[in-house]
Amino acid sequence: MIEPLVGQRQRNETAKAVQGCNDYLRMGPGRSLAALHRCYLEIPENAQPTRSYDTIRTWSERYEWAERAEAYDMQLEQQKNQRRDEIMASGLALAHERVEKLKWLAAFLEEQIQEQGEDGVYHNVWLPDVKQIGSGEYAERVDIERFNAALISEYRAALDDLAKETGGRIHKQELSGDKESPVLIHVIGGIDLADV
């Protein structure tokens, strides 16, 4: 048996009336009886509870659809807020969890940077590469080493993200002095550059 999405089935409320109410509620905050009626007119005969606007209006008044819609919308909003609170109270939504991940990433990248081969060369910092000099039959292959700027850039980005998460790099500007002669002061990481 079909049950209302909100509240209890009322006395003499038919299954068709309940379906009409549920369809109305599912339309969301922009719902209207006229819009529900238009939807029902587009559905094949007997696949909807009614094709009569007067019947929809009567059900709406008799079975308090407006009150049910308010309760339904409030229930959905509470569910959304509860889900949001659950998400924001765990995992990477928490600053200390993000800091932990960033610390791991920074440590991993640092290990990659400092990794040395048997010859003592930082082989992740200086990557082997090949260039060609000349063309055709006079072309020569030249082995070179290329600086791994991407690895260093990622390491610096991880450190920058860590600083931002922990408040280590606060960039702001403040005005000091009076209205006639204001002084612009740049504050970086809590250091007043006007004093340096």
Contact 105, 157 (CB under 8 A): no
d(CA 122, CA 58): 81
Mean pLDDT of 119-142: 90
Q: Is pLDDT at 13 greater than 90 in this prediction? A: yes
> CA torsion angle for 8, 14, 15, 17 (degrees, to 10)?
-80
Of 32-46, 79-93, 94-108, 169-183, least confident by mean pLDDT is 169-183
Average pLDDT over residues 21-29: 96
Helix 33-42 vs helix 53-62: crossing angle, to nearest 10: 140
Residue 106: closest CA among 148, 154, 147, 149: 154
Cβ atoms within 10 Å of 59's Cβ, excluding its own: 24
Whether pLDDT at 193 is above 60: no
Q: Where are the domains of the chain?
A: 15-87, 95-168
Quickly list DSSP for 123-148: TTTEEEEEEEES-GGG-EEEEEEEE-
pLDDT tens digits, residue range 60-119?
A: 999 999 999 999 999 999 999 999 999 999 999 999 999 999 999 999 999 999 999 888
Confidence of residue 171 (pLDDT cuts 50, 70, 90): low
Percent of all residues in the chain with a pLDDT value above 90, rounded to a whole number: 72
